[in-house]
Amino acid sequence: MKQPELGQKISELRKSKGFTQEELVEQCNISVRTIQRIEAGEVTPRSYTIKTILSALDYDLERIQTEESRVAKEFKKLFLLDIDDSKEVGFLIKQLSIAWISGIVYFILGFAEITVDYYRYTEDLMVTNNIAYIILKIGMLASVILFTRGFILTGKIFKNYLLRITAFIFIFIGVLFYIYDILSLYIVDFDYQFVLGAEAVTYGVVGILFGISVLRLKNGLGTLATVTGIFEIITYGFMATIILSLIGLVLLTPTIILEIILLYKVSQILKAKQKEIALG
> pLDDT tens across 138-170, in order?
999 999 999 999 999 999 888 899 999 999 999
What is the model's pLDDT at position 42? 78
Q: Which residues of the chain have pLDDT under 70?
A: 1-4, 60-87, 188-192, 277-278, 280
Exposure of 224 by Cβ count < 10 A (0-12 exposed, 13-18 middle, 19+ buried)?
middle
What is the model's pLDDT at position 67? 56
What is the model's pLDDT at position 162? 93
End-to-end CA distance of the chain: 46
259 by DSSP, 3-state: which?
helix
170 by DSSP, 3-state: which?
helix
Mark residue 125 as left, alpha or beta (left: phi above 0; alpha: psi -120 to 50; beta: remaining): beta
What is the model's pLDDT at position 75? 47
Query: For residues 41 and 23, what is the distance between their CA atoms, to the nearest angstrom?
Result: 20
What is the model's pLDDT at position 189? 63
Query: For residues 214 and 246, what is the distance between their CA atoms, to the nearest angstrom?
Result: 23
Q: For residue 42, count other CB atoms closer than 10 A to its CB.
A: 12
Query: Can you spell out the DSSP letters for 209-242?
Result: HHHHHHHTTHHHHTHHHHHHHHHHHHHHHHHHTS
What is the model's pLDDT at position 62? 58
With vertex at residue 209, the alpha carbon angle to CA 205 and CA 215, rounded to the nearest 5 degrees, is 145
What is the model's pLDDT at position 81? 53
Phi, psi (rounded to 5 degrees) for 90? -60, -40
Phi, psi (rounded to 5 degrees) for 227? -65, -45
| Angle of helix 130-157 versus helix 245-279 axis, rounded to 10 | 50
What is the model's pLDDT at position 73? 56
What is the model's pLDDT at position 136? 95
Closest by CA to 100, choosing from 249, 247, 228, 236, is 228
pTM of structure? 0.70
Name the residue type at position 53: I
User: Are the C-beta atoms of 24 and 35 separated by less than 8 Å?
Assistant: yes
Q: Would you mind telling me the total number of residues written for the chain in this entry? A: 280
6 by DSSP, 3-state: which?
helix
Query: For residues 219 and 178, what is the distance between their CA atoms, to the nearest angstrom?
Result: 35
